[in-house]
Amino acid sequence: MKIFIPQDMASVAVGADRVAVAVEMEARARNIPVTIVRNGSRGLFWLEPLVEVATASGRIGYGPVNADDVASLFEQRFFDGGPHPKCIGPVEQIPFLAKQTRFTFARAGVIDPLSLDDYRRHGGYQGLEAALSIGPTAIVAAVKDSGLRGRGGAGFPTGIKWETVARTPSARKYIVCNADEGDSGTFADRLIMEADPFMLIEGMTIAGIAVGATKGYVYVRSEYPFAIRVMEQAIDTARRAGMLGNAISGSTHAFDIEVRVGAGAYVCGEETSLLESLEGKRGQVRAKPPLPAIKGLFGQPTVINNTISLASVPFILAEGAQRYAEIGYGRSRGTMPVQLAGNVKHGGLFECAFGVTLGELINDIGGGTASGRPVRAVQAGGPLGAYFPPALFDTPYDYEAFAKRDGLIGHGGLVVFDDTADMAKLARFAMEFCAHESCGKCTPCRIGATRGVEVFDKMIAGIDRDKNLALVRDLCETMKFGSLCALGGFTPYPVLSALNHFPEDFAAPPLPLAAE
């Protein structure tokens, strides 16, 4: 009998390895033959460690399981789907999962991440097969037609990037996967790499064929040791199976991938800074133009895409651009893996078509706060994203709709705060983070962020409050329009949204009562 126990970093962080050891020992003691599959998480993190068993009526889940629960699970014959207080029934029927449209994350948590056979059995490499049969020009057309936009946050059409690289003649071109997922509240890239790494390999391979690149790099942040390990193993497996190397799947196309590890610099998630880092330099932002598509890594034409963007490609090729494009909202086509994080009851990954409202995501899907207190604010799109108050929960999840409300969807993270949140502190933190992570190349970011922290400190201490408030707004203006990249340019989003939507946190404290 097959028992699934996740091995992704988040599940291990809450005890999945201890559960796996306990299941193995208990099974041996009771002389019950079990096969433990270490899958990736399905992304329902409040249920992790989520133990699943394959039964005749589908996979039955138990969670969150502690090592202490294992003896009683065996007692109740959980391996046959038996009843237990931790039993949550058929996993696919959990509303959080049943309500999703899993295009990109269809296999996450279902398969053994490192089994190429498992990958193929669940639709893997069908996209590559289609890509090889239609050829480079049609691949680029399919990606354009799908409406896929950069999932790193900028939302630039992926197909246009590919077309530019395809049309730029060069003997050497690169595919670079941006897996420097530094935004707090996001873990979709991590889950792709830890739960379904061959999908990313397949997406990058298709990109390579489309633009004529033969070398790919996955730039993974060092904070993701599990993802690094899984990707390296998967690349090795793909290479040995002839799915990477000189003749991809027996074709005339050559493509290979290497994992490169970042070194704790948030700014390296910015594409030009990432390229500098890959070249072995300080991760300083480059001025554009030239675009990376024309002069990218080592001066060569380079496709640099976010992990989710590249991982979305196999589905588009396998199922057709139309199937992807037909769902969505406005100019945001297809699905987005929304990541519910922070102080939220049902935290996890929720892949759905664009257009769902922020309120539905936070309250209906996420179930409100984990603390049970009222939601005060939601930071959408990472540390450079705006804080939304519940009054704006009718905003549809869409690049343009968020921009219209002075926010951004970024990489899909939503961090929930309850009513104990101090918005002045959070606004100050945005400046502090920018100062900590600034690459130093442009003045508005390098100096502005440090000055921003100082001004907030004065304001919080009650010194010249109104004057300093005006100064912060002025500073934000300078950073927004004067910075070279999104780090300095977008830091004003969390700062100004906190000021605009939560002015009470910046007001002078009530005067102390006069002493008797």
Asked if 197 touches another protein (CB under 8 A), the answer is no
Nearest residue to 47 via CA among 380, 349, 279:
349
Asked if 347 touches another protein (CB under 8 A), the answer is yes
Cβ atoms of residues 141 and 135 within 8 Å: no
Residue from 69, 118, 163, 181 binding another protein (CB under 8 A)? 181
Q: DSSP of 91-128, one letter per residue?
A: GGGSHHHHT---SSSSSTTTS-TT-HHHHHHTTTTHHH
Asked if 340 touches another protein (CB under 8 A), the answer is yes
Site string for another protein, 293-322 (x = CB under 8 A): -----x------------------------
* SS3 call for 136: helix
Nearest residue to 125 via CA among 310, 312, 299, 315:
315
Asked if 437 touches another protein (CB under 8 A), the answer is yes
Nearest residue to 412 via CA among 200, 181, 231:
181
Asked if 182 touches another protein (CB under 8 A), the answer is yes
Q: Between residue 10 and residue 49, which ones bind another protein under the rule CB under 8 A? A: 10, 12-14, 45-46, 48
Asked if 80 touches another protein (CB under 8 A), the answer is no
Asked if 99 touches another protein (CB under 8 A), the answer is no
Q: CA–CA separation, 448 vs 213, rounded Å?
A: 40
Asked if 121 touches another protein (CB under 8 A), the answer is no
Residue from 109, 124, 155, 342 binding another protein (CB under 8 A)? 342
- Tell whether the torsion through CA atoms of 409, 176, 309 and 49 is positive or negative: negative
Choose between 140 and 427: whose C-beta lies nearer to another protein. Answer: 427
Asked if 383 touches another protein (CB under 8 A), the answer is yes
Asked if 490 touches another protein (CB under 8 A), the answer is no
Asked if 141 touches another protein (CB under 8 A), the answer is no
- Residue 253 CB, shortest distance to another protein, in Å, is 20
Q: CA–CA separation, 46 vs 52, rounded Å?
A: 15
- Return the structure tokens found at 295: 């002069």
* SS3 call for 157: strand
β-strand partners of 149 = 157
Asked if 348 touches another protein (CB under 8 A), the answer is yes
Q: CA–CA separation, 230 vs 222, rounded Å?
A: 13
Asked if 119 touches another protein (CB under 8 A), the answer is no
Cβ atoms of residues 332 and 145 within 8 Å: no
Asked if 283 touches another protein (CB under 8 A), the answer is yes
- Residue 13 CB, shortest distance to another protein, in Å, is 4
Q: CA–CA separation, 382 vs 221, rounded Å?
A: 16
Binding segment toward another protein, per CB under 8 A, in 115-123, 257-265, 307-315, 398-406: 257-265
Choose between 105 and 224: whose C-beta lies nearer to another protein. Answer: 224
Choose between 334 and 347: whose C-beta lies nearer to another protein. Answer: 347
Q: CA–CA separation, 488 vs 481, rounded Å?
A: 9
- Residue 260 CB, shortest distance to another protein, in Å, is 7
Residue from 134, 241, 370, 469 binding another protein (CB under 8 A)? 370
Q: Is 467 exposed, middle or buried (0-12, 13-18, 19+ CB in 10 A)?
A: exposed
Give the torsion through C-alpha atoms of 341, 347, 348, 349, to 10 deg. -70
Q: CA–CA separation, 325 vs 159, rounded Å?
A: 13
Residue from 344, 353, 487, 495 binding another protein (CB under 8 A)? 344
- Residue 7 CB, shortest distance to another protein, in Å, is 12
Asked if 368 touches another protein (CB under 8 A), the answer is no
Residue from 211, 234, 341, 352 binding another protein (CB under 8 A)? 341
| Residue where the block lists tokens 């796996």 | 20
Q: What is the DSSP letter of 465?
A: H
Residue from 78, 187, 388, 399 binding another protein (CB under 8 A)? 187
Asked if 124 touches another protein (CB under 8 A), the answer is no
Cβ atoms of residues 332 and 399 within 8 Å: yes
Q: Between residue 204 and residue 233, which ones bind another protein under the rule CB under 8 A? A: 222-226
- Return the structure tokens found at 435: 């100062």
Give the torsion through C-alpha atoms of 139, 141, 143, 147, to 10 deg. -170
Considering CB under 8 A, how many residues would be counted as binding another protein?
Answer: 61
Choose between 89 and 264: whose C-beta lies nearer to another protein. Answer: 264
Q: Give contact residues for another protein (rule: CB under 8 A).
A: 9-10, 12-14, 45-46, 48, 181-187, 189-190, 222-226, 260-266, 277-284, 298, 339-344, 347-348, 370, 379, 383, 413, 415-418, 421, 426, 429, 433, 436-437, 439
